[in-house]
């Protein structure tokens, strides 16, 4: 047989859907994970039907780039840190803790997919930089697919260039998107690096006492050397030599996990007669069936990151008793105080049925009185949208007016943009927040029952976020319904810097008022700047005055928040700049509607020629 024919045959066998394969889900192990997040990730992978099959192994590969030092600081997990015995033990201990934690989170999923013949494995590798650790582990494990977690997407270009197998990414909502459905061969040679790792099978819940294979290895490309072990050190030492020269007939079905990825042949699959026996047609038919009997919960998950839920069947206007809210908030304890605004204080609470709430208690001296209280109840009784905070009910007792919302778990956009100095908001999240906010406003203006509804107080502090960074519009105390163009208001309420000129000067309110505010928010998402900052050295106190000249000069890179450096998508930046420029026009007639803004952000501007011409005209003179 010719070499060409032989190569074709091996590749055909390797990609055959009935051959056992290894699918790697790579994630940043320094980030917190939850059982719900892992479960949704697995279901997203399984739902495609062409990635994970019966007999395959799904490996969750966590990369630990930092480990806590006893002195209280974070130590980089660099190879030179592994030379000291003390540092090695610190790294081993942290890796072991991470493995055990992830195994516990994945046990229910392992039980769920055991009937389909899918094994789940956890491997934590300590090393840096993260992308090189992922690359080396994926190559040495001969993975057929690598699924990159959302925290790793910033290095997507590197992975697409260097990783030879098929590639997919996990979005912020934990759905999966395939970015390269085929393998490549033109990759750079990978130089071996020194990493400490621990791999462990995820046992079934029904057999908690079953012996679980685990092994510490210090890996350098395809070679392994023992760096110690946990409970089964003697057995592991005896398996190190077989790991370097694997004889499949000497081991049972589960032993390939003991030996690590090097027990596989170059195709990334187990040889005939090895740890994975041939699959009979009857078993194949069973494995191809749709998952059945999966556990379900009637209450949808609001935040995948922390598992927060909101019951959807709560009545549009449900009246709470004062004692219910008092009990839920621990008598409005200071420990439960979330914040304070012009309306009053907001407290976190938990109802008897487990529902978390945010209770907004109106100040007696508040300028936003009973009219705003009724306005918010009315507006939110019509507004049921994934990007709008849900009103669960209200309470009236004498001079106390309380609004009860679903609790949104991850603070506000303002906090993440300006106050969270330890974790800079990444570009893909900023873009996702812009899209979600635009969808919420579009719903209020054009789609909800009782529309158009004008928010009138759009600003980052009124955009709340889940741990998945899904934006939720809140605080509708100033909202106006069924406003006509030219509708005038004597009381000018809102936040300076976000107010449209026609509203700030003449009290004119329309849907274009919100469009202007959204344009300012877009500039803030891109630049990371506050709307008014008297401390800036460039003497540009107004955000709009600073941004418009840069846009007109097409100096788009100067608009980008320097904290995210070059980790942004140029095309997405262009779309956001174009939308923002049109939104902040002083003449409201020149601003797009939120439906048009949404299409501009999505890049669907072919039918918006008039708007596009407004933007391009400044740069074609």
Annotated binding site for ATP: 360
DSSP character string of 411-472: -BHHIIIII-TTSPPPHHHHHHHHHHHHHHHHIIIIISTT--EE-S---GGGEEE-TT--EE
Structure tokens at 19: 């051959």
Residue 332 to residue 530: CA distance in whole angstroms: 32
**Sign of the alpha-carbon torsion through 2, 6, 12, 18:** positive
Which residues is 61 bridged to in the sheet? 26, 123
* Distances, alpha carbon 106 to alpha carbons 36, 113, 188, 257, in Å: 9, 11, 34, 16
Dist CA 344 CA 362 (whole Å): 4
Distance CA 219, CA 135 (A): 13
Q: Retrieve residue 198's tokens.
A: 């621990």
Q: Which residues of 418-437 are buried (b: 16+ CB within 10 A; e: fewer)?
A: beeeeebbbbbbbbbbbbbb
Angle between helices 594-601 and 570-583 (to 10 degrees): 160
Question: Is-contact 534 499, C-beta < 8 A?
Answer: no
Taking CA atoms, 224 is separated from 130, 237, 239, 267, in Å, by 20, 11, 11, 20
For the stretch 167-175, contacts whose Cβ atoms lie closer than 8 Å and that sit 24 or more positions apart, written own/partner, are: 168/51, 170/25, 170/41, 170/44, 172/428, 172/429, 172/432, 172/468, 172/469, 172/470, 173/304, 173/468, 173/470, 174/37, 174/40, 174/41, 174/44, 174/304, 174/468, 175/44
CA–CA separation, 410 vs 421, rounded Å? 15
- Tokens in use for 534? 């008297």
Angle between helix axes 35-48 and 85-113 (nearest 10 degrees) is 60
The enclosing H or E element of 285 equals helix 281-287
Q: Which distant-in-sequence residues (6+ apart) come within 8 Å of 82 by Cβ?
A: 88, 91, 194, 196, 218
CA-based nearest residue to 433, from 457, 460, 406:
460
The reply to whether 457 belongs to the active site is yes
> For residues 117 and 110, what is the distance between their CA atoms, to the nearest angstrom?
10
Kindly report the CA angle at 409 between 406 and 411, in degrees rounded to 5? 110
Q: Which is the catalytic residue, given 56, 119, 149, 457?
A: 457
DSSP summary character for residue 27: E
- Please state, in angstroms and as integers, the Cα–Cα distance from residue 540 to each residue in 417, 498, 530, 533, 535, following that order: 19, 16, 11, 8, 9
- Strand 57-64 relative to strand 74-76: parallel, antiparallel, unpaired? unpaired
Q: Which residues are catalytic?
A: 457
């Amino acid at each position: 047989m010719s070499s060409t024919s032989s190569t074709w045959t091996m590749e055909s066998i390797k990609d055959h859907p009935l051959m056992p394969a290894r699918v790697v889900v790579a994630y940043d192990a320094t980030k917190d994970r939850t059982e719900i997040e892992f479960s949704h990730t697995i279901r997203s992978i399984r739902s495609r039907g062409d990635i994970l099959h019966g007999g395959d192994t799904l490996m969750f590969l966590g990369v630990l780039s930092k480990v806590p030092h006893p002195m209280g600081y974070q130590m980089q997990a660099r190879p030179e840190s592994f030379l000291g015995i003390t540092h090695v033990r610190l790294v081993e201990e942290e890796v072991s803790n991470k493995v055990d934690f992830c195994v516990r989170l994945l046990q229910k999923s392992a039980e769920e997919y055991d009937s389909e013949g899918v094994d789940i494995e956890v491997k934590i590798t300590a090393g840096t930089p993260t992308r090189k650790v992922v690359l080396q582990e994926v190559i040495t494990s001969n993975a057929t697919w690598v699924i990159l977690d959302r925290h790793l997407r910033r290095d997507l270009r590197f992975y697409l260039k260097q990783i030879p197998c098929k590639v997919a990414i996990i979005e912020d909502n934990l759905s999966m998107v395939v970015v390269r459905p085929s393998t490549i061969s033109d990759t750079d040679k990978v130089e071996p690096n020194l990493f400490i790792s621990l791999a462990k099978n995820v046992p079934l819940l029904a057999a908690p006492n079953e012996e679980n294979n685990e092994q510490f290895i210090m890996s350098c490309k395809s070679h392994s050397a023992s760096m110690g072990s946990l409970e089964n050190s003697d057995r592991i030492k005896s398996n190190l030599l077989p790991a370097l020269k694997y004889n499949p007939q000497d081991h049972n079905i589960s032993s390939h996990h003991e030996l690590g990825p090097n027990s596989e042949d170059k195709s990334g699959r187990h040889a005939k007669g090895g740890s994975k026996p041939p699959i009979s047609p009857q078993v194949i038919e069973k494995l191809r069936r749709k998952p059945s009997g999966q556990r379900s919960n009637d209450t949808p998950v609001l935040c995948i990151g922390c598992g927060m839920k909101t019951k959807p069947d709560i009545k549009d206007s449900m009246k709470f008793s004062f004692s219910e809210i008092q009990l839920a908030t621990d008598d409005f304890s200071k420990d439960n105080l979330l914040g304070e605004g012009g309306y009053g204080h907001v407290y976190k609470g938990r109802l008897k049925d487990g529902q978390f709430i945010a209770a907004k208690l109106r100040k007696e001296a508040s300028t936003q009185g009973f009219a705003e209280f009724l306005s918010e109840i009315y507006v939110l009784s019509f507004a049921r949208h994934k990007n709008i905070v849900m009103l669960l009910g209200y309470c009236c007792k004498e001079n106390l007016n309380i609004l009860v919302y679903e609790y949104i778990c991850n603070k506000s956009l303002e906090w993440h943009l300006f106050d969270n100095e330890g974790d800079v908001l990444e570009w893909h999240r900023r873009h996702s927040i812009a899209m979600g906010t635009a969808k919420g406003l579009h719903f209020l203006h054009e789609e909800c029952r009782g529309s158009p509804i004008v928010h009138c107080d759009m600003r980052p502090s009124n955009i709340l976020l889940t741990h998945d960074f899904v934006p939720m519009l809140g605080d509708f105390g100033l909202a106006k319904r069924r406003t006509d163009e030219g509708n005038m208001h004597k009381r000018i309420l809102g936040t300076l810097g976000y107010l449209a000129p026609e509203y700030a000067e003449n009290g004119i309110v329309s849907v274009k008022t919100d469009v202007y505010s959204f344009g300012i928010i877009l500039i803030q998402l891109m630049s990371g700047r506050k709307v008014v900052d008297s401390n800036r050295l460039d003497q540009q106190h107004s955000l709009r005055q600073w941004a418009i000249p840069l846009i007109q000069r097409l100096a788009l890179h100067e608009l980008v928040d320097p904290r995210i450096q070059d980790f942004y998508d140029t095309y997405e930046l262009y779309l956001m700049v174009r939308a923002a420029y049109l939104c902040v026009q002083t003449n409201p007639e020149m601003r797009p509607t939120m439906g048009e803004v949404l299409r501009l952000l999505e890049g669907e501007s072919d039918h918006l020629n008039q708007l596009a011409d407004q933007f391009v005209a400044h740069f074609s003179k």
